[in-house]
Amino acid sequence: MKVKVLCRNPDDYVRETTRDIQRVPRNYDPTLHPFEVPREYTRAMNATKLERVFAKPFVAALDGHRDAVNCMAKHPTSLSTLLSGSCDGEVKVWNLPTKKCVRTLQAHEGFVRGMCARFCGTSFFTVGDDKTIKQWKMEAPGYGEEEEPLNMILGKTVYTGIDHHQKEGVFATCGQQVDIWDEQRSSPIRSFTWGVDSVSCVRFNPVETELLASCASDRSIILYDMREATPLQKVIMNMRSNTLCWNPMEAYIFTCANEDYHLYTYDMRQLSMPIVMHSDHVSAVLDVDYSPTGKEFVSASFDKTIRIFPEKKSHSRSVYHTKRMQHVICVKWSLDNKYIMTGSDEMNIRLWKANASEKLGLLTTREKQAQNYSQKLKQKFQHHPQIRRITRHRHLPREIYSQRKELHVMKEARRRKPEVQLMCSERSGTALSPSKKKLSNVPSLLVSFFLKCKVLLAHHRS
Amino acid sequence: MAKRKAKASRVRSESSSKAAKNSTQVMTYDDGEDELLEGDDDDAVISASEEDEGGSDDERKHRKLLEAISALGGKKRRKLAERSEASVQVSEFAVSAEGAGEKISLSDLLGAMDQTPSAVKSTKKQLQNLESCKDTLELPLSRQETEKIQRKVAFEKTSKDVSQWESIVKQNQRAEQLVFPLNQEPSGPKPVEHVVVGWKPRTPLEMEVFSLLHKNMQPINDPLLTPMEEASLKAMSLEEAKIRRAELQKIRALQSYYEAKAKRERKIKSKKYHKVLKKGKRKELLKEFEEMRNKDPAAALEELKKMELARMEERMSLKHQNSGKWAKSKAIMAKYDDEARKAMQQQLEMNKELTQKLALPPESEEEQEPEETEVVPDFANDAQAAADPANPWMMGKLSAEPAEKDCGGDDKESAVENTQNEEEREPEGDEEEENEEDVLLREFDEKRKSRRPDDDALAPPFQVDKEETEGEKKEEPVCVSSEDEHEGEVVSEFKSLFQKLLANGHESTVNKGTGQDAKESDAEEPALLDEGLSRVRSLEDVDELLGQGLVREHAEDVAEVKEKIPTTAEETKNERTDKRKKKKILDLNDVLTRDAKVISVPLAPTAIGEEEVAERGGFFRSFVGLRGDEGNGEGDQRMLVQEAFAGDDVVADFLKDKKKRVEAGKPKVVDLTLPGWGEWGGVGLKPSRYKRRRFRIKVAPPPPRKDRNLPNVIISDARESSVAMHQVSQLPFSFEKPEQFECSIRTPTGHTWNTQRTVQKLTAPKVVTQLGSIIEPITRDSLDKSKAQTRGKKAPDIVLASAGAEGQGPRKGRRKAGKNDARNLHNSRRRAIKRTK
């Protein structure tokens, strides 16, 4: 009889140095590892549960402002710096890791309406209710020096917003008209008007850097090209847009935050119809900002929540709120795609994780692998009811919850109405044309008016 | 210009008679220029004088009158605005001129031109033309309208600009993985060319080296061949080329010839032809082999080795094991489709043929064929696997089978009777190989097959016949059969395989080697089943099995059947039959339950079943391995298991449970008869038979149970709520078929099932960001880069084309053209490199 001897080559299991990882010989024979699907399902379930357990997005609150935070600006080259302007004309510079205010300056009398940093990060601009545009140094003044703006332009009218060009010394302000300024000159190099009394927000396109878009109070969004003499195009919506934001990775996509509780993503070449209507908020949306990867954006709303939407999904993937956070006025997504900053009515700036359950800080390779694996599993089993239920569950404050329900009822009724009408009408034989315009800009004016009234009432009560 | 106008006016004149005069004028323009010009001048002069005389006189009077009237009113009614101050914006309404209201004619303005003789004639002509044409110019568009148009144009331009990004956006959306920030420098070592670009020799040594390199025209970067080397590589002498070409031609011709031949042969549909062909080939091969064996044994050995290698390869691969996608699909069809079944069988046969162990050095001449030694198909081991010595439960199962064997025996007998009649019917004309026994065997088999649908319990022990009838040769070594892994094959396949083996004139495999699964009530199996591992005795049996000596002692009832023990060639048929009978008797005693029906029906087991059996097979293997030298530890463990589960009769319980379920699943007759309706009722009175028949509702029999052929499986179709909670009820969006979705779920991603590299690939996240790095918006560079890439792709084409054009000029012969090509390519590459730099 043949005798077989087990023998092993030490090379197969001995590490060369102690810094190598241990070799673990494995037998991948599928018969030795049965029940792949159930086992992976269990893992996915655990991962999902853990994700929800660890979903604690709130990182820190920065308090120091003595009035509501009206605007914020990201530092283009430093992740740890944040600028914020409040309703009492104060501008603060924050150090995020230490959660401390580094510098405070009284920039304007009245509101600081808008602010933006220069692309190189050496200075920043503010506009305020005192009809001035001021340019400030990013560094704090030395000992004994007075806090003074580098430049100041006194305009004829109030400026309501400002944005800086991505690469050149050019910035744009808005107010009664949209002005393009050269940093070296005291008068605008170009002004655009298009029958509007006031423009509330202007944004440069970060990719096609010569393009701008603005939101005007006649419920319109207007596109401009810096090089042209006239504005390019305008779309009028049923309600006013508060702000808009360009997608930093897709040159022709922008999203606007509308008063009618929704956000609309447009392709600038096709303004007749938005690509997606993002709905989930239960009150006017006040601000929106894209993640630097262009895959998601965050919106701040009057309903005291912020929501994160995937780029082209009509519903949000998560909602953040705390008891103490009031109407969120401004929101920014940090440039490393990790954090979200919100400025709200109750004078606080809050720092959130963009990914609620993400572990912060450096991860070891194994941690990273485990994370990737669990992500993959979650994605793989996302359609399974239990997992879906767990992943989708979120807590909402009671008011928002009930308001949502109410809105849902209203929406249903609106949807049903034509059907019912048709049913009750004499010529019920005619087929109802399928409502293709599901994405129609906005519900009818009447309805939106009704909504607005409701909101006002609610505010009044509170 | 003038002509065109003239033509236009001509057209007009044709339509309206009013402008007849005008048109004649114009016509004359065309004829002769000079004379007409003069004439025209006269005309103009005349008209001017006319105006002066008539119209202007009246006008002046009229105006004076008006002024007088307005003076009466005390103040001027309308003051003419004056341009007093220079400003950017001038209202068009405020502009005034002296003598407003008077009509200004062109001739007024150009009066001076007539005087100057040097005035350009053509200009004059144009002016005259203008004058003659009475149409007024259109008003310029209003400001709003112009702006609208401007906006439209500008928007179109910008949207076109912006659309350039579309490709990149789409590319990013489609990308498997996006790493932010974009445009990162790839880490790791860079190619030397990139590093060296900016570097220049400075030290004398370096200079010297470089000068040497330059002298030899040694390229420093990319194509590391000198032009000389390249040329020499490319070059080929004319003779060589000719020879090579001839060769190629010949080969091509041959190839086409063979192709044609093969095609012709392939088109022949006769199966018989192919069969004969194959057989002939095989014979030829065998003959060759024999010759070789006689002439030079070394080569024969080589051949043998080759065969062995092929066998090894086959055993390693899953190629013909009916485990592929095709085979699985066929397996589903096999129930209903004979052809599919056949195809599967063929596959298995192939596998079997290839995995056959080669004969040990043959004793006699007849046995030289490599196919002589036979291997029991893998799945034949099932039963053995079932008879796992370490698992007392599994042994119990076997006890159920004796009954089958009995009926199998009956079958056999009847079959034997039948065979005599049917012998002549054999269609095959292979006289040489097939002896009578084989024919018999095949017929048995066929009969059994045909009978199967009728009674589920089938177990014609045709193996017995084999044993009885066939001259024994060597049995295959134990280890072979034991090694073979169990595969859940359909028994019919096995049978047919076996039949084939027999038909080929090989010795019958004694399937002792194969274990009998409860499922396999096959002809061969009954004998094996007879091992008599009844549940009752199983514990002792296992003990005995483990102890070698004991095995020998119980040889009659257990051991020899217990397969694997080769019946030696010396044994006579009689001895065998005796044994067989003995076995049968013993087994009859062993019968525990009469659940044989449930158990016996063989069919392909489910996947899980397979796994189990495979595991059991593993156990068994280990058992066989140990049998030679008994391991004490094994025995201890077995004892332990026995003790622990002494009171349990799991298999019987399971069978009972299953039976119960089957019963419960059967539809019940609904009796709706109501006593007393339409007839007398009361104690002791039964409703009439008619009525009972009338109101008894028979329910259609349910579809056959899925586990009807799987003895150790209970399949329940009922929806279980606890499981349903975790199941997907609707096909998720983006999947079109349930199969797609199942597929997406089925593939495991974890490291338990995949190698590390695979796991990394499978779990790679879609978006990767770097901790603490700023992600800038996408820049124009990336757009340019993508454009450059597309351009870069095109560039070589152009170069090649031009090279081709060069070659086409004077015919220089192939070689030179080739060289040119090469050089061009080389140059283009250099250029490309520069561009990338």
Q: Which of A74, A235, A250 is best to mutate for the B interface (most B CBs within 10 A)?
A: A250
User: Dihedral through CA B302, CA B307, CA B308, CA B309, nearest 10?
Assistant: 90
User: DSSP code of B785?
Assistant: H
Taking one residue from A and the other from B, the number of pairs with CB-CB distance under 8 angstroms is 149
B169/A31 Cβ within 8 A: no
Strand partners, A332: A341
Share the mean pLDDT of chain B: 63
DSSP for B195-248 reads HHTT----SHHHHHHHHHHHHTT---SSS-S-HHHHHHHH---HHHHHHHHHHH
pLDDT computed for residue A405 by the predictor: 93
Between these two residues, B61 and B526, which has the higher pLDDT value?
Answer: B61
Q: Rounded distance, CA B407 to CA B386, Å?
A: 22
Instruction: Check B147 against A230: CB less than 8 A apart.
Output: yes
Judge: A385–B750 Cβ closer than 8 Å, yes or no. Answer: no
Q: Reply yes or no on whether the pLDDT at B766 is more than 60.
A: yes
Q: How far is CA B627 from CA A167, A389, B393, B542, in A?
A: 83, 55, 20, 11
pLDDT at A62: 95
In chain B, whose CA is at the least distance from the CA of A372?
Answer: B763
> Would the pLDDT of B123 be above 50?
yes
3-state secondary structure chain A: CCCCCCCCCHHHHCCCCCCCCCCCCCCCCHHHCCCHHHHHHHHHHHHHHHHHHCCCCEEEEEECCCCCEEEEEECCCCCCEEEEEECCCEEEEEECCCCEEEEEEECCCCCEEEEEECCCCCEEEEEECCCEEEEEECCCCCCCCCCCCCEEEECCCCCCEEEECCCCCEEEEECCCEEEEECCCCCCCEEECCCCCCEEEEEECCCCCCEEEEEECCCEEEEEECCCCCCCEEEECCCCEEEEEECCCCCCEEEEEECCCEEEEEECCECCCCCEEEECCCCCEEEEEECCCCCEEEEEECCCCEEEEECCCCCCCEEECCCCCCCEEEEEECCCCCEEEEEECCCEEEEEECCCCCCCCCCCHHHHHHHHHHHHHHHHCCCCHHHHHHHHCCCCCHHHHHHHHHHHHHHHHHHHHHHHHHHHCCCCCCCCCCCCHHHCCCCCHHHHHHHHHHHHHHHHHC
Residue A378's closest chain B neighbor by CA?
A: B763
* B752 touching A (Cβ < 8 Å): yes
Of A263-272, B116-125, B566-575, give the lowest mean pLDDT range: B566-575
Tell whether A250 is within 8 A of chain B (Cβ): yes
Q: Which helix (H) or strand (E) holds B480?
A: helix B478-483
Q: What is the pLDDT of residue B623?
A: 36
**pLDDT above 80: residue B699:** yes
CA distance, residue A144 to nearest chain B CA (Å): 34
Checking if the pLDDT of B584 tops 50, the result is no
CB-based contact B351:B314 (threshold 8 Å): yes
B763 to A376: CB separation less than 8 angstroms, yes or no: yes
Could you tell me what percent of chain B has a pLDDT over 70? 46
Which of A76, A233, A293 is the closest to B155 by Cβ?
A233
What average pLDDT score do residues B206-235 get?
A: 74
pLDDT band at B349 (very low <50, low <70, confident <90, very high): confident
CB contact under 8 A, A1 and B748: no
In chain A, residues with a C-beta closer than 8 Å to the C-beta of B622 are: none
A395, A55 Cβ separation under 8 angstroms: no
Q: Going residue by residue through chain A (462 aa), what tens digit of pLDDT does each one get? A: 788 888 878 877 788 888 887 777 788 898 999 999 999 999 999 999 999 999 999 999 999 999 999 999 999 999 999 999 999 999 999 999 999 999 999 999 999 999 999 999 999 999 999 999 999 999 999 888 888 999 999 999 999 999 999 999 999 999 999 999 999 999 999 999 988 778 999 999 999 999 999 999 999 999 999 998 899 999 999 999 999 999 999 999 999 999 999 999 999 999 999 999 999 999 999 999 999 999 999 999 999 999 999 998 999 999 999 999 999 999 999 999 999 999 999 999 999 999 999 998 899 988 999 999 999 999 999 999 989 888 888 899 999 999 999 999 999 999 999 999 998 886 655 555 554 444 444 445 555 566 666 666 666 665
- What's the rounded Cα separation, in Å, for the pair B510 and B466? 8
Q: Does A207 touch chain B (CB under 8 A)?
A: yes
Run of H or E including B768: strand B767-768
Chain B residues lying within 8 Å of A36, measured CB to CB: 746, 748, 750, 752-753
Instruction: Convert A53-96 into a string of H (helix), E (strand) and C (coil).
Output: HCCCCEEEEEECCCCCEEEEEECCCCCCEEEEEECCCEEEEEEC
Closest Cα to residue A72, out of A346, A257, A348, A285?
A348
Measure the CA–CA gap between B589 and A32, rounded to whole angstroms. 38
CB of A86 within 8 A of CB of A70? yes
What is the C-alpha separation between A400 and A406, in angstroms, rounded? 10
Q: What residue spans of B504-631 are helical by DSSP H?
A: 524-529, 535-546, 548-553, 573-590, 596-600, 607-627
Residues 6+ apart with CB under 8 A from B474: B360, B373, B507, B566, B569
Nearest to B694 by CA among B667, B670, B673, B676: B673
Which of the residue ranges B212-221, B517-526, B643-652 has the most confident prediction, judged by mean pLDDT? B643-652
Burial tier of B798 (Cβ tally within 10 Å: 0-12, 13-18, 19+)? exposed
Q: What angle do CA B564, B566, B569 make, to 5 degrees?
A: 165
**Per-residue pLDDT, B442:** 62
Residue B117 — very low, low, confident or very high, per pLDDT cuts 50/70/90? low
Give the whole-angstrom CA distance, residue A260 versus residue A241. 8
B163 → chain A, closest CA residue: A252
SS3 category, B155: helix
The token pair that represents B428 in the structure block: 């095959």
Dump pLDDT digits (tens) for A25-60: 788 898 999 999 999 999 999 999 999 999 999 999
Q: How far apart are CA A88 and CA A236, in angstroms?
A: 33
Residues 82-141 of A with CB under 8 A from B: none
More confident residue, B404 or A135: A135
Among chain B residues, CA nearest to A74 = B774
- Among B146, B148, B162, B621, the strongest candidate for a mutation testing the A interface, having the largest count of A CBs within 10 A, is B162
Chain A: closest CA distance from residue B643 (Å): 28
pLDDT, residue A438, reads 46
Give the three-state DSSP class for B767: strand
- Residue B267 has a pLDDT of 87
- ∠ CA A448-A449-A454 to the nearest 5 degrees? 95
Beta strands in B618-674 (DSSP E): 670-671
State how far residue B559 is from chain A, nearest Cα, in angstroms: 19
Asked if A206 lies within 8 A of B777 by C-beta distance, the reply is yes
Mean pLDDT, residues B259-266: 89
Q: According to the model, what pLDDT value does residue B515 have?
A: 38
Half-sphere exposure of A453 (CA within 13 A, CB side): 6
Phi and psi angles of residue A181, each rounded to the nearest 5 degrees, phi first: -115, 145
Residue A1 structure tokens: 């009889």
Interface probe with B: pick from A46, A293, A353, most Cβ of B within 10 Å = A293
Segment B587-595 mean pLDDT: 38
Beta pairing, strands A81-86 & A90-95: antiparallel
Which residue of B147, B611, B749 is in closest CB contact with A377? B749
| Inter-chain CB proximity A292 and B750 less than 8 Å | no
DSSP string of B382-404, one letter each residue:
HHHHHS-TT-HHHHHHHTTTHHH
pLDDT at B797: 38
CA A446 to chain B, closest CA, distance in angstroms equals 31
User: Can you name the residues that pair with A318 across neighbouring β-strands?
Assistant: A308
Distance separating alpha carbons of residues A239 and A448, to the nearest angstrom: 8
Query: According to the model, what pLDDT value does residue B410 have?
Result: 43
Q: How many CB atoms lie within 10 A of CB A314?
A: 16
Whether the Cβ atoms of residue B318 and residue B348 lie closer than 8 Å to each other: no
Q: Do A223 and B608 touch (CB under 8 A)?
A: no
Return the DSSP state at B558. I
Give the span between the Cα atoms of B158 and B169, in whole angstroms.
17
CB-based contact, A231 to chain B, within 8 Å = yes
Q: Which residue has the tokens 């928002």?
A: A400
- Residue-wise pLDDT tens digits, B298-330: 888 888 888 888 888 888 877 777 778 888 887
Q: Which of helix, strand or coil describes residue B559?
A: helix
Q: Does B143 touch chain A (CB under 8 A)?
A: no
Question: Does A161 lie at the interface with B, CB-CB under 8 angstroms?
Answer: no
Q: Are A309 and A276 in contact (CB under 8 A)?
A: no
Is A229 an interface residue toward B (CB < 8 Å)? yes
B210 touches chain A (CB under 8 A): no
B2 CB burial (10 A radius; 0-12, 13-18, 19+): middle
Alpha-carbon distance B513 to B359, whole Å?
17
Q: In sequence order, what are the beta bridge partners of A116?
A: A125
State whether residue B775 sits within 8 Å of chain A by CB.
yes
User: How many angstroms separate the CA of residue A131 from the nearest CA in chain B?
Assistant: 27
Sort out which chain A residues have CB atoms less than 8 A from B727's CB and list them: 384-385
Rg of chain B over all Cα atoms, to the nearest angstrom: 52
Asked if pLDDT for residue B428 goes beyond 90, the answer is no
Cross-chain Cβ contact A252/B159 below 8 Å: yes
The answer to whether the CB atoms of A248 and B777 lie below 8 A apart is: yes
pLDDT band at B119 (very low <50, low <70, confident <90, very high): low
A385 touches chain B (CB under 8 A): yes
